[in-house]
Amino acid sequence: MSKLVTIYGGSGFVGRYIARRMAHAGWRVRVAVRRPNEALFVRTYGVVGQVEPVLCNIRDDASVQRALQGAQAVINCVGTFDARGKNNFAAVQAEGAGRIARLAAQEGVDRLVQISSIGADADAKSEYSRTKAKGEAAVLAAFPSATILRPSVIFGTEDAFFNRFAGMSGLTPVLPVVGADTRFQPVFVDDVAQAAEVAATGAATPGVYELGGPEAASFRDLMKKMLKVVQRRRLVLNIPFFAASAMAAIFDFLSMLTGGLVKNKILTRDQVKSLAVDNVVADGAKGFADLGIKPVSMDAMLPEYLWRFRPSGQYAAIKDSAKNLRKV
């Protein structure tokens, strides 16, 4: 275990899967996070001392530099959905990404992997997408041989996409969505982690890769697929963009009125703008095939973790089986 990788945001949804993979590949793993005491679980991904969480603030040069000293590879998984505050879109996704790349180049790091997102565009209406593009540009300017990974919406046991709507389906007969016809290409979280591992270990040609699962579908169809898995019948109701924008403006205003004490976790104006654009792999873009990876389908994974949202939870399969028993 002579090689060291620093993973910024390594305790997050995607980062923890990458940390586990890098540890299993025999690397020492340094997980750079804002709250190391809340990331102690990453130590279990390897043998004693192999995976360690360390304090890091990506808005500070000295903090970022300390975290990457001695590393042969660096992976940046840090992202945010917070448009305000100190850790806003620009500070984290644009300036933070550029800072990591610049200092990694100064320290002589061999390989850098930046986790971005499909839809990153300097001309996008969404600030989230614009800052993702600025972050990519800053990374490539400082570290031209970096690998950029752009996943579509990511699903997995801890996701905030299918889990969120599956939870809602147990509370209401109507499932409201914004942009029901917008297309997504959901990708399994461990497939993204494998792509990061391939890039960080030098098994892939540097460049930009767009990562999407085997199936592209509309938001409406994704919700219907999820409802089938959780065995619930609900009306998927499309909220027009003009109505969604008005609702999001109210939620944003209430958050601003309280000085951020009440965070808008329902719907923001920036999210509405993002939902108006398809989130699928572009024609001709490099992807999983170029990395030698076959992505897992939603049908194979969703039942593995959405079963708890079924009306009978873990007993659903037993009850279905019991229906076939012959009455005595």
Rounded to whole angstroms, the Cα distance separating 55 from 48 reads 19
Residue 300: predicted pLDDT: 96
Q: How many helices (H) and strands (E) does the chain have?
A: 13, 13
The pLDDT-based confidence of 260 (bands split at 50, 70, 90) is: confident
Lowest-confidence segment of 14-23, 33-42, 122-131, 248-257 by average pLDDT: 248-257
Whole-prediction pTM value?
0.95
The pLDDT-based confidence of 64 (bands split at 50, 70, 90) is: very high
Encoded tokens for 289 = 């095939």
Mean pLDDT calculated for residue range 149-178: 97
For 9-49, write each residue's pLDDT tens digit: 999 999 999 999 999 999 999 999 999 999 999 999 999 99
Cβ count near 25 (within 10 Å): 14
Distances (CA, A) of 29 to 23, 43, 241, 269: 6, 9, 44, 37
Mean pLDDT calculated for residue range 307-314: 92
Lowest-confidence segment of 95-104, 195-204, 231-240, 258-267 by average pLDDT: 258-267
Q: Which residues are paired to 54 by β-bridges?
A: 32
Residue 52: predicted pLDDT: 97
